[in-house]
Amino acid sequence: MARGKKGGRRGGKSGGRNADDAYRTDVVEKIDMHNERFEKYYKSQGVLPDDEWDRFLEAMRAPLPTTFRVAGSRQAARLLNDVIRSTYVPHLADVVFEGESVTPPAQIPWYPEGLAWQFNVSKKVLRKSPEFKKFHSFLVYETEVGNISRQEAVSMLPPLFLEVEPHHKVLDMCAAPGSKTAQLLEALHANDTVTASSIPSGLLIANDSDHKRTHLLIHQSARLPSPALMVTNLDASIYPAIKIPSEQTVFPSGTKARVAAKKQYQLLFDRILCDVPCSGDGTMRKNVGIWKHWQPMDGNGLHGLQLRILQRAMRMLQKDGRIVYSTCSLNPVENEAVVAAALQSMPEFELVDVSNHLPELIHRPGLTTWKPTVDRSINTDFATYDEYLQSLPEEKRGDTKMLPSHWPPSADVVEKLNLPRCIRIYPHLQDTGGFFIAVLQKKTPNAAAAASVKSTGVSEGKRQADAVESLETQDAKRPKLALEPEAPSADNVIEQDAQDDEAEGELLDEPAEEQPTIEENTGEIPPATPSITPAEFRKKNAGKTKNGDGSNIHFRENPYTFIAPDDPLVQACISKLNLKPDFPASNVMIRNTIGDPIRSLYITNDIVKSIVLHNDYTRIRLMTCGTKVFAKQEGAEAKREGADTHFRVLSEGLPVVLPYIEPESIVTADLPALKILLETYYPLCSRFDGPFRSTIESKSNGSYIVRFEPGTLGTATLSHDLVLPLWKSNVSLTLMLDKKAKSALSLRLFGEDVTPAARAAAQKKQATSEPATPAPEPDVLVPMEEDADEA
Ligand SMILES: C[S@@+](CC[C@H](N)C(=O)[O-])C[C@H]1O[C@@H](n2cnc3c(N)ncnc32)[C@H](O)[C@@H]1O
């Protein structure tokens, strides 16, 4: 659905059920799933042949199968997928419940490597069948720790069509709650191993205009911590130009060195996902309330914003880049109409034929014609916008909210746009929700120039010459809705900017002397502006508002400060945690309000650092970036030794830091040791055996890494290295994982939750004379922040 309107459109009570039940697909009756307007509208669009109509409606009314994706780095995902395939599925193969056999989970045929699954069992089976109950617990805990993502099948598609690689600069324009962002991050981290994260050279900016929902996004993406991630909170339709020192820009001959030196350039993206807000009628199988409230003016109203977002994306795309535009709506006004209008406004773009990209995916081509309705009663009588306008009294014509782009272009234009290259997914085709996808790219230069002149009468050269536009002007500019040609593509603007700099005066809002200079066009990002020590930071910012320069009083996030690699804090981490010389110490950052003691250190990759250093973080409304790697170890012991020097590696940051930790700080242990560490909060060193005990006893107190080697213990098998952070105190050890992660690990390895938290929960239940269960079980199958609208 378009937004997190919880309860907004989901219908009310029905037939005496309680309000919660009204939203459950397994209890809402089919009798409630009718909407005359819906049927009339879609019939008149000719979305499907007549003989498929009943099957389509039947599928729309059937409960949506539960689907999930094995998430995380590719190697780790493969291992977990093997556990599902070889351990859980065989146990679920012959389940009979109340006399009926239950179909086990099956892999979604089109998802690469079989990493996505679906099953369709009632909540009763999940709760009462012992086999499914166990599977349910497994799913819940693996979801909690981010190894499994509960996601609608069709919602998994857009990132697959985007084909992200680790070096790509990616923008996810409407990203919350973040299920697709997680997939994009995984693709960026394709080179991660089971235990160690790569530091991709690329970048993912995940954006959403809804401030609250960006927190969901941050939470969701924290499951795959990445130094390459940034989260912003902006209106995607007017997404500002992000400034970055030029890497590859070839300056036009004659550009004065002084001009080139002080210029910064707009970051262009290799991949952009526009998963735009939409009316969401493709999610009706899940959000059954939409049946009651559906009406076509929702789609009409969203069309303009959807188009502006797509046009903004087109202006921010690299030459060889790719855009995926997607909605979970079946309405052509939100789909083909948007794509057609965008393509006409920028003729240098084309639709990509991706019909064979996922051979097992059954889909239908995009529509070449459609009939917008001009009112709620499904009045589709007007063949063109002009016809509609003529039908209105003259004085009312200015008031209409209908736009020319709601209507299909003329037949000859439609033919050139290749709209059948769009992908439509209908629920009856593969038992999914409904969905729409279009993949756009820039044409090869010659084709683009020809298309441009033909369609607009304006040559590309003239267009570039007209493209005198500063980054600030771009920020303010809202892409046009009308179908006249969009002015410059963003990359043209960039090349033009260097020439215009002298004539236009300063193009940048920061004073020139604060800008890093580009010495030569070497293709490298110039060194960062000098980092500062925390003490200098406090001094510099003393007396300022919480928001740094106070330029955006409504934006209340903490500032971002890179600290100098020779800062005592960084040096303390390097020496205490035994980090190798190649640890990227100059990419360590703190987030802090003025004067606060520093508790956490973050790390980013080079490009994220460069963006942070060259942009006002309040202007780009930067919610977070990079990943937290070290935290100050609190407690008396740490204080005794000097609080500023006692940092530990965080479990979420460990995969990033692991490649930089010297082998002496990594101790080796086995499965029995892991079981002790899971069963007890602070086991004494004397409880362990063998080389692990002697090694750990010989170590001084502090942060270590423990590597558990593959092995068996009873029926438990550890099939690959497992690396976790450990804290050694005088006589005891602590596994530095949170409770949920410990429970998930225990369930996965030992088939039961052996943690103290689970024992306490069981005792509490016993005390209240309820039957004890190994761990608290959520009410829903797999908790999902925004289950209602993640598609
Ligand atoms: C369909 S949802 C996105 C789902 C998301 N891509 C996912 O996979 O989890 C659309 C999102 O667009 C956001 N949104 C609405 N208007 C926006 C705008 N003008 N700019 C950016 N985001 C917007 C909404 O807050 C909502 O989170």
- With a Cβ cut-off of 6 Å, ligand 1 is lined by 3, 155, 173-180, 208-210, 213, 235-237, 275, 277, 305, 789-790
The answer to whether the annotation marks 756 as part of a ligand binding site is no
pLDDT at 464: 34
CA distance 514 to 540: 15
pLDDT band at residue 245 using 50, 70 and 90 as cut-offs: confident
The answer to whether the annotation marks 391 as part of a ligand binding site is no
Q: Which long-range contacts (CB under 8 A, 24 or more apart) does 379-386 make?
A: 380/41, 380/44, 382/407, 383/407
The answer to whether the annotation marks 208 as part of a ligand binding site is yes
User: Could you give the C-alpha distances from 243 to 226, 231, 471, in angstroms and in order?
Assistant: 21, 16, 8
Residue with CA nearest ligand 1 atom 27: 176
User: Could you give the C-alpha distances from 739 to 123, 135, 604, 743, in angstroms and in order?
Assistant: 26, 20, 27, 6
Distance from residue 178's CA to the centre of ligand 1 (Å): 9
Cβ within 8 Å of residue 87, ≥6 positions away:
none
Q: Which residues are catalytic?
A: 328
Distance from residue 553's CA to the centre of ligand 1 (Å): 24
Q: Is the pLDDT of residue 458 over 90?
A: no
pLDDT at 497: 29
The answer to whether the annotation marks 178 as part of a ligand binding site is yes
Q: Which of 16-20, 533-537, 598-602 has the lowest mean pLDDT?
A: 16-20
- Give tens-digit pLDDT for 399-413: 999 999 999 999 999
Q: How many CB atoms lie under 10 A from the CB of residue 54? A: 10
Average pLDDT over residues 749-758: 90
pLDDT at 57: 96
Token output for 668: 């080796």
The answer to whether the annotation marks 176 as part of a ligand binding site is yes
pLDDT at 509: 22
Distance from residue 423's CA to the centre of ligand 1 (Å): 20
Token output for 49: 């042949």
Mean pLDDT of the chain: 80
ipTM for the predicted complex comes to: 1.00
Cα dihedral 702→708→713→718 (10° resolution): 140
**Residue with more model confidence, 205 or 253:** 205
Q: Is the pLDDT of residue 546 over 80?
A: no
Domain ranges of the chain: 21-150, 159-504, 534-654, 662-754
3-state secondary structure at position 454 = helix
Residue with CA nearest ligand 1 atom 15: 277
CA distance 545 to 172: 31
Residue with CA nearest ligand 1 atom 17: 209
pLDDT band at residue 108 using 50, 70 and 90 as cut-offs: very high
pLDDT at 262: 57
Pick the CATH number of 159-504 from 3.75.10.10, 3.30.460.80, 3.40.50.150, 3.40.50.300: 3.40.50.150
pLDDT at 92: 93
Q: Which atom of ligand 1 is nearest to the CA of 155?
A: 8
pLDDT at 700: 87
Distance from residue 358's CA to the centre of ligand 1 (Å): 25
pTM of the model: 0.82
3-state secondary structure at position 299 = helix
pLDDT at 616: 93
Average pLDDT over residues 134-155: 90
pLDDT band at residue 419 using 50, 70 and 90 as cut-offs: very high
Average pLDDT over residues 438-450: 81
Place of tokens 């659905």: 1
Q: Which atom of ligand 1 is nearest to the CA of 275?
A: 6
Place of tokens 């969905």: 435
H helix intervals, 401-559: 411-417, 427-430, 445-456, 460-465, 471-476, 490-504, 534-541
Token output for 307: 């188009």
Is residue 260 within 8 Å of 518, Cβ to Cβ?
Answer: yes
Average pLDDT over residues 749-768: 88
Out of 9, 183, 208, mutate this one to test ligand 1's pocket (max ligand atoms within 8 Å of CB): namely 208
What is the DSSP code (8-state) at residue 256? -
- Give tens-digit pLDDT for 625-661: 999 999 887 765 555 555 455 788 999 899 999 999 9
Residue with CA nearest ligand 1 atom 18: 235
Q: Give 647's strand partners.
A: 632
For 51-137, strand residue ranges (E) read: 66-70, 96-97, 100-101, 106-107, 116-119
- Give tens-digit pLDDT for 550-588: 334 468 888 899 999 998 888 988 988 899 999 999 999
Q: Is the pLDDT of residue 682 over 90?
A: yes
Out of 69, 156, 209, mutate this one to test ligand 1's pocket (max ligand atoms within 8 Å of CB): namely 209
Average pLDDT over residues 745-759: 89
Out of 150, 210, 234, mutate this one to test ligand 1's pocket (max ligand atoms within 8 Å of CB): namely 210
